[in-house]
Structures are given as C-alpha cells and as structure tokens.
Chains A and B, each alone.
Chain A
Amino acid sequence: MKKPHGGVSRLFRYNKPIPQPHIPPAPKETDAPAPEKLPASLTASLAVMGRIFHAPKNADYIVREFLIGSTRCAVLHIDGMTSRTDLEEMVLKPLQRCPSLSSTPKRYARELLETVLPTGTGKTETDPKKVARFILGGNFALLLDGCPEAALCEMQGFSKRGVEKPVTENIVMGPQEAFNENLRTNLSLLRRALKTPDLVDEIFDLGERANDTLAVCYMESIANPALVEEVKRRLQGIQTDAVFTSGELAQLLEDRPFALLPQILLTERPDRAAAFLMEGLVVLLCDNSPHALVVPATLAAFLHSSEDLSLRWQYGLFNRLVRLFGILVALLLPAVYNALLLFHQELLPAELLTSLLEGHAMVPFSVTMELLLMEFTFNLINEASLRMPGYMGSTLGIIGALVLGQAAVVANLVSPALIIIVSVSGLGTFALPDYPMSIALKIRRVSYILASAFFGFAGIAALLVLFLFCDCSLESFGVPFFAPFAPRMSHNPDLFLRLPLAMQRLVPPMARPKAHLRSRAPRGWDGQRGKLP
C-alpha cells in the first residue's frame, strides 16, 4: 500500500542527513629542509626562496625579475609590507639604469650595496631563512645570478599606528606618549627618553614557526650582567611556535606561573621604561606589542605611578597615600563589612548597627550573598564597558552605576550600605596603576569575602597569612617580590612614601646594579651663593 504524502511524514521527507565533508588527518611535513646557504644560480636561489614562501600559492610574495646589463636579478618582497613607490623610484629604476656590473659575480651584491642601492642599512646574507625573515620584516632582498649572497635593504612601507596617548597609564602631568606596535618606533621613543650610548638594545628572534622580533634593552653601565644573561638565557630557552604579544612573553618568562600576582611589570609609557632602565632593570620590547616588559619587578613598582615623580613631593606623597589606602579598602572593606555584620557586631555602635541591619532587613539574601552578587554585577559592568566603544562604554557605566544600583535598592535586592561598600571598593581597585595587579586584587577580594563569611576576622587573618606566605616566597628573576622592604635593603625614600627628589640618591639595590649611587648632590647648587639682581 502506498503511503500518503502529507502530515508529519512529509515534514521528515527532506530531513536527510547533510553530507559532512571528510577531512583526513594532515600529512606530516615531508618537505626537505631549506639549504643553509643560497646557491649561486639565480634560478636555484629563487626555487629555494619560493619553497620557503610557498610560492606560487602565497599571493603576496612578489618576485620582480630584471636585468642589469646581462646579469639576471630579482627583487623579493611582500606586497603591502614594502613601500612600493620607494621600491620603484629608489631601487628598481637605478638598478635598471645601471649599465653592467664590474666586479666578480661573487661580489655583485656587495658592489650594488656600495654603489647603487640608496638605503643606509644594507647588508648581505647567505642563509635563506634569515633572508626570508628579513623580507617578512617589510624589507626587500636582491638576488643576483652567479652571486651566492643576497643584498638586503630596509624599505618598510606597511601602515602602522602613530605614537598616541597611553590608554591604561594615563597621567595629568608628565609625557603623554605611549609605545605602539612597531619595535623601531618603540626603540626610538626609548632612545629619545635616554640620550646615552650606554643604552644597549639587543635584538632576538622568538618563535619557531612565526618569528617575532624582540629587543632586550639595558644600561650597560648600570645593569647587572648576571641579570642580563639570565634574561637572555630564558629568552633562548623559549620553545614555542609563536609569541604574539608581550603579555604572552611575560607568561613564558616569569618565575612562578601558578602564583596569583604578576612577576613581570608591563608598561606602555616610554618615560617609565626609561626610569626603570636607569634603576638597572632590563626592559623587553616586543614587536607588535605596545607594552614593554620590565624585569625584575617588585611590589613597589606595581604600586607606583610615573606621575609620582613629576609632581612635587608633597602632592606625590598625598597621591600615593590615597592610592595605598584605596588599595587596602579595595582588598578588605567588603570582607570586613561582612565580618562585622556576621561575627563582630559588638565593634559597631548600636545606632550604626541598627541602621545597617534595618537596611538589610527586607533583603532576601544573606549579607555574603548580597556582596558576591554586587561584586559580580560590578565586574560585569566593568567588563562590558571595557569591550564597548568609548562613548557607549561610559553610558553603560552610568546606567550600571545609577539605574541598576537604584533599582536594586528600591526592589529590596540589596541594602543601600552595601552599594556604598562595593562602589568604594571598586573605586579603590581603579586606584591601582597596574591592570593585571588590579585583577589579582579583585580575585583576592572575593576570597576574603568568602573567608569572612565562614570565620569572621579570624578567616580574614588566616587568608591574609596564606597570601602573604605565598607572596613573600615569590621572586622575580631572583629578586624577592617584597624587596627592598622584606628582605630589607638600603633604598631611596620612595617605597611606600615619596619624599623629596633631593633625598633620592641611590640606584635601587634590588637588581644588584653595577652603579650604586645615582647622584651625590641632586641639588648641587643649593648652598652656593648665587648672583640674583
């Protein structure tokens, strides 16, 4: 009997399984490794380079062949990475006008670099991998028939971001420039801040598949050679396919990856990086990353802002005290509030306690649950406003803070005092100048809230001890995290307090620098009689 078409069966008639494409496992790489030296023949050289760049599949790998006299030549570059106009005007035209090459074929590349090619940073190279890496940096290579060397010249022409204002380390007084994603620009910013030949920058390549360039910067006359060597040893020991950002690099370099606190400082300010260099620390600049890494890092460095030194010491001291108080509040205030209401009511005067409990009476949650909910909401608003475009982010912040908070109080979901507590602790978090550290602070705040919910002040104290033990055992490149406070070392009056610049005569001793004294008399003129009219 023929089944009728219709009803439910009709619905399933076309519900055949969609054929899934079968993707077999990728075959293992069987390509023969590239030779260590370029062959003399241009055809063979182009074949070697073509294999490295996967030509002709790779569309932006450009090979431009031409003749100089009777010698075959080729310019290799990546489309869009090199300035095409400059290449045409300054390289190809002069080369094509060149009648012939006079030296022996082995010296062709050197001859052209010395006579025709206009670029100031030319060099020759025989290793095809290094030639490829150079081309990938936005430059071009010139290969000549009969010559086993490639002439390499810089001619970067890719678009890049200009030097802009810092995003996460804004200050009112002081330089307003920030690093960007270009290593050369960043090095020049650093050089502009520190005009001294003592500043050394060594270039390294990282990543086994995708190379990233990195500069290790230090002051030759100040930095401890053992520290520099340790940094280089760790960099050379990194075995990964690619490193994209300085944040990733920091994670590969730090001493204890499981510790909550960051052990390497990231800064986007050239002036701050320069100040660290003058303290004998090492600064790492990663290409494609607008943050410099500073090693070793101690707790004090995470608490300082570059503005502290620009301001007069009284204002800097005041700001720093406010910041330290803010951090303390951000860390402990919600937990202390929780402990006070749950365990230690006797500490509060009766009127205040009554007022707090009355505010909480209509709320269906416990104080701890309220705190955790508000913490979550606050962090949600913060996270959402970070991802939103600028104007929408600020709108979202206002909506979150005013509308949601007010509505939650009216709906008796949270007590008014708790809104104040969470807001103040949230503000305290923003007082911390370092973004990764502020995230660690948020995590610890939640831990303290939970500890106070179970054991009151005793829980907070016990957790404080646990965290302090962990933090005190931390070291950043062999330097204790709490140095120079614990272990104690002689230091400038610029640790938790900030006193006059004239009193800051020492190079901070944490990294055991070569130089110990910054200046004997910062105000050397003081005490000498001047000639005022």
Chain B
Amino acid sequence: MNDRLGGHERTVSLTCLLLSQLLLPTAGPRDFAGNAAYLSVLVTLAVGLAAVVLLRRISGGEAYFDVCLSCGPASGLFLGLLGLLFFLNTVSAFRALLDTLEAYILSLTPRSLVAALLLLCLLPGAFFGSAPIARMQSFYAPVALLLYLLVLALALPHSAHLSNLFPLLGEGAGPVALQGLRLSPALLWLFVLLIEQKSAPRPLRSGLLAVLCACLLLCAGLFVFSLVHAPGSPTETDYPLLQLASLSGYWRYFQRTQSVFVFAWTPLMLAATAAGLCYSGRCLGRAFRMDDPRPVLLPLGILLAAAAAPEIARAPALLRFLVEERLYRLCLLPPLLLPYLVLYLRKRRERGKEHG
C-alpha cells in the first residue's frame, strides 16, 4: 500500500472527500433552512475550521495511531471505533451514490447489481492505498470542478431572479444554524488528517484549505439553487443540485444535464468510498496489530455493498439508525469525543507511570 502524500494531494483529496458527502445530502438543506440554505453552509464552514484546529491541538502533531497505541489495553477499542465511524460514513456515501444512480440513470437496474459493479471498481483503489486515491482525485478534480461550474452557469440564464433570495434568512436564523450543524457529520473525513499526520506535510493548512474550498463550492451551488427557485416553491429537495442540473439548459444542445452532473460526480463519490474503505481497513488493521491491512479490505467491501445495496425502507432497523439517523442526531459528537477520550486516557496512563 502506498500512503505517501504531498500537501497538495492531501488538500485536494480532503476537499473531494468533504464535497462528495456534502453535495448529495439525502435530505436537502433547503427543506429545513428555506432559501437561506446557502448561509447554513457558512455555519458548517465555521464548525469545520474549528474542528481542524481542535484536532490538531488534541493530537499535538502525532499520528492518531501512535496516540492510540500508547493508551494501553483500550487502544484496539479506540482504533476499532474510529474504523467503524469511517465505515459508517462510507456506507452513507455509497448509499447516496446508489440512490442518485437509481433515481437518475439506472432506475431499472437492480441496486445490488450496481453496487457489485461499483464495488469491483473501487476495491482496487482501496487496495493500492490512499496515495493513488489522492492522486486520482487530484487528477480528476479540475474536470469535476469545471463540469460543476458549467452546470451552475447553465442554470442561471433561464430563471435566476435576485428577488428569490429574500427573505435573506429564509426560515430564520435558528433553522439556518441547525441546518449547518446537520451537515457537519461529513466533517468526519477530517480525521484523515490525524491518521496521516506523519506522512502528509502541513496538515493544519491542508485541513483549513479543504474545509474552506468544500464549503464555498457547496455554498455556491445552493446559492444558485436559491436564485432560480422562488422561496416556498415546491422542489425536489432530496437532490437540490441534481434538480438544478435537470433545470439547466442552454441553446438547443445543452439540456437536462443531470446525467452530466452524475457522470461528473460519480468518480468523486467512488473515490470517497474507496478512501473510506481504505481508512476503515487501516484502522481495523491497526486494531488487530496487522502490518498490512489489505486482507481486511475485501470482507469490508462485501459488508459495505451489503449494507448499502438494500433500499433504506427494507434495511434493518439498526443499519437505518447507524447510517441515516446518526448523521442528523449525533452530529460531530462521536468523532470529536473520541480523540479527547484517547488523549485523557493516555495522559492518565503517563501520570500513573510517573507515580508508579
């Protein structure tokens, strides 16, 4: 596995990971915050920036693996929990991709078949390690960005009205702020910085830049969405940006570009899923004291497909809770509490050694 990363790849990769989760939220921000949804992203941005600084201070420049391993007998538990969080996030991302593909492209193809195909394509990425995934994201990001901006630009000429932005705070300041928090579980990807702290240079800078870029891009998308939809108008809020893409049209030959949008976004979602699989495998591998986590990846991948393939209505209640409810109820608490707990235990252990 190749896990050596440069600062630029780390930043681009993290931006892509964050955006992959933020751009296809299964419950649209507009549903909650109205036409001020784009402002709620600014709250997410603030949370994200704070989280990066906090994570950096907590770890004190050490990689999370090293911190955990110095905690004694409970180290495996912490690593396993982090692996689980990554895995759940990955299931969530993969499920969002499958939902999107089912809704917009492959409505007649069985979900399980699509899941199996996508798993085959993303597993090699997880096997090769985080560096090839980050390189792939760096290579593809400009294309995706161009297509994303194209979709936004094509949506504007038809029905953009400044009056659609009023009232400026939409449903009110409270819902806007709450919506911002509801988006923040996607920031779990910031943990990648902790895992690769030793191999990637300047993690703080990478984290801050990535959060800034991801939130601004999402903000731009929701802003355009608000511009072209009158407040209170009925919208298909599950996929606001896809709906935006379906409305866009220019001249005779650029119409209903949602397929193009999905085409642009699928590689990034797949890369995010591969990265999630890779990181959860690495965490679990460390928990079991394995030098090479690759043997864990195939079973994890099959579990991932099994968890993401069934429609949510048919999924087991526990899975529904973990994958769907978790995102909106628990927010950032588990990801942020975990390092604190690890650090506390480590300090206590060090103190005990000094006294004993």
Contact = CB atoms under 8 A, between A and B. Distances in A.
B262 interface: yes
Contacts of B135: 472, 480, 482, 486-487
Given A458-B101, A462-B121, A480-B135, A468 B267 contact: yes
16 contacts: A455-B114, A456-B259, A457-B259, A458-B106, A460-B263, A461-B263, A462-B118, A462-B266, A465-B267, A465-B271, A466-B122, A466-B125, A469-B125, A472-B139, A482-B139, A488-B6
A485 B106 contact: no
Given A462-B270, A469-B128, A346 B122 contact: no
B286 interface: no
3 closest residue pairs by CB, A with B? A461-B266, A488-B8, A486-B138
A433 interface: no
A482 B128 CA distance: 15
Interface string A469-483: 110110000001010
The A interface, classified by DSSP as helix, strand, loop or mixed, is helix
Contacts of B267: 461, 464-465, 468
Contact of B124 (A343, A454, A469): A469
Q: How large is the interface on A (under 10, 10 to 19, 20 to 34, 35 or more residues)?
A: 20 to 34
B252 A347 contact: no
Contacts of B259: 343-344, 346-347, 456-457
A470 B6 contact: no
Contacts of B266: 457-458, 461-462, 465
Given A455-B106, A455-B109, A465-B136, A347 B260 contact: yes
A462 B138 contact: no
Contacts of A480: 135
A79 B339 CA distance: 80
Q: How large is the interface on B (under 10, 10 to 19, 20 to 34, 35 or more residues)?
A: 35 or more
Given A455-B106, A458-B114, A469-B125, 18 more contacts: A347-B257, A347-B259, A349-B252, A455-B105, A461-B270, A462-B117, A462-B266, A465-B267, A466-B120, A466-B122, A468-B136, A468-B140, A469-B274, A472-B132, A480-B135, A486-B134, A486-B135, A486-B136
A459 interface: yes
A417 interface: no
Interface in B242-282: 252-253, 255-257, 259-260, 262-263, 266-267, 270-271, 274
Interface string B93-128: 000000001000110010000100110111011001
A499 B118 CA distance: 39
Contact of A465 (B8, B114, B122, B131): B122
B253 A349 contact: yes
A456 B105 contact: yes
A358 to B, nearest CB: 18
Interface string A312-354: 0000000000000000000000000000000110111100100
Contacts of B134: 486
B242 to A, nearest CB: 13
A235 interface: no
B233 interface: no
Contacts of A488: 6, 8-9, 138
A463 interface: yes
Nearest to B268: A465
B132 A456 contact: no
B43 interface: no
